[in-house]
Amino acid sequence: DERTFVMAKPDAVQRGLVGEIVSRLEDRGLKLVGAKFMQIDEDLAHEHYGEHEGKPFFDGLVEFITSGPVMAMVWEGADATRQVRQMMGATDPAEAAPGTIRGDYGLDLGHNVIHGSDNEDPGANEREIELFFDDEELVEYDRADAEWVYEDTGDH
Ligand code: GTP
Ligand code: MG
Q: Where are the domains of the chain?
A: 2-139
**Mean model confidence pLDDT for the chain:** 97
Does residue 82 have a known ligand-binding role? Answer: no
Pairing of strands 2-8, 70-77: antiparallel
- State yes or no: pLDDT of 79 exceeds 90: yes
Q: How far is ligand 2, taken at its centre, from the CA of residue 121, in Å?
A: 9
- Residue nearest to ligand 1 atom 7, measured at CA: 118
The ipTM value here is 0.96
CATH topology of domain 2-139: Alpha-Beta Plaits (3.30.70)
Please work out whether the CB of residue 2 comes within 6 Å of at least one atom of ligand 1: no
* Dist. CA 140–CA 53, nearest whole Å: 35
* Dist. CA 102–CA 142, nearest whole Å: 29
Find the mean pLDDT for residues 99-113. 98
Please work out whether the CB of residue 19 comes within 6 Å of at least one atom of ligand 1: no
Q: Sorting pLDDT into bands at 50, 70 and 90, what band is 156?
A: confident
pLDDT tens-digit map of 4-58: 999 999 999 999 999 999 999 999 999 999 999 999 999 999 999 999 999 999 9
Please work out whether the CB of residue 85 comes within 6 Å of at least one atom of ligand 1: no
The predicted structure's pLDDT at residue 72: 99
Q: How far is ligand 1, taken at its centre, from the CA of residue 153, in Å?
A: 36
Does residue 102 have a known ligand-binding role? Answer: yes
- State yes or no: pLDDT of 151 exceeds 90: yes
The predicted structure's pLDDT at residue 115: 98
The predicted structure's pLDDT at residue 154: 74
Does residue 153 have a known ligand-binding role? Answer: no
DSSP, residue by residue, 109-145: TTB-SEEE--TTSTTHHHHHHHHH--GGGS-----TT
